[in-house]
Amino acid sequence: MDREYPTPAVSVDIVLLTLEEGGLKVALHRREDDPYRGQLALPGGYVHVDVDVSAEATAFRVLKQKTGLAPRYLEQLCTFAGPDRDPRGWSVTISHVALIPLGELKEVGGGVFQFYDVDQLPELAFDHAKQISEAVQRVRNKASYSTLPCWLLPELFTLTQLQRTYEQIFGETVSRGTFRSRLGIKVADAKPGESADEADILISTDQFQGGNQRPARLFRVNHLCLFKRAYW
């Protein structure tokens, strides 16, 4: 191993996904600087070796600086590297995917981002379209066997909201019965503190939503777990 060679630029990009009526949306902003000035792009920035303790820390710093946001769910997606992805030269970007409830995003990151349907993207800077496509594939794949979609909901949610979330991620509606059987929900009206599902993921609370007709019980996630079990 030697270090005589020039070293590539290293950045972090974040595919920030949220749900808006209609489906999965990605947060994009217009670039203020060259290259690709004025074009839509993912939030991202260079690793700052004097302050960042990891690539994840770079992702959090960039989001905090640009939007004030601190997503509760962030994971490394994969790394894109090569001489052609940035006109400034050989570059490496460590791509991340973050999930955030729309309410939180609008509250904190308001005004910075525009939201685009992940299946109908406009022209994007760099290889950002490819990064989004990888991120969506990862999220849909993990959603099919885990409670990952819960990170797109507020901390407390109804079972109907959870069902809509899965439906919007997969772009497919199912009956209430089918949904509940897929998630292994056994007691939709479990006592507060008890679990509603076979895998003990959804914990019942003593709070309800909607008062006029039939108020719906609110649930929270016990823990994020990836199962060897097909949910969808």
**For binding to a copy of itself (CB under 8 A), which residues are involved?**
1-3, 5-11, 33, 44-50, 53-55, 76, 78-79, 81-83, 88-90, 92, 94, 144, 228, 230
* Nearest CB to a copy of itself, comparing residues 76 and 158: 76
What is the rounded distance in angstroms from the CA atom of residue 222 to the CA atom of residue 205? 11
218 Cβ contact list (under 8 Å, min separation 6): 156, 157, 158, 205, 207, 208, 209
H-helix segments, 68-221: 102-108, 128-143, 159-170, 176-182
Cβ at position 71, least distance to a copy of itself in Å: 19
Nearer to a copy of itself, 21 or 51 (CB): 51
Q: How far is the CB of 47 from a copy of itself (least distance, A)?
A: 6
Of 79 and 209, the one with the shorter C-beta distance to a copy of itself is 79
Min separation Cβ 64 and a copy of itself, Å: 16
| Separation between Cα atoms, residue 132 and residue 127, nearest integer Å | 9
| Separation of alpha carbons 45 and 184, rounded Å | 41
Q: Which residue has the tokens 């056994």?
A: 186
Q: Which is nearer to a copy of itself, 81 or 187 (CB)?
A: 81
The nearest distance, CB 216 to a copy of itself, in angstroms, is: 31
CA distance 219 to 202: 6
Query: By C-beta, is 10 or 188 nearer to a copy of itself?
Result: 10
Nearest to a copy of itself of 21, 33 (CB atom): 33
Minimum gap (Å) between residue 39 Cβ and a copy of itself: 13
Shortest distance in whole angstroms from residue 166 CB to a copy of itself: 16
d(CA 69, CA 71): 6
Spatial separation of the C-alpha atoms in residues 83 and 79, rounded to whole Å: 14
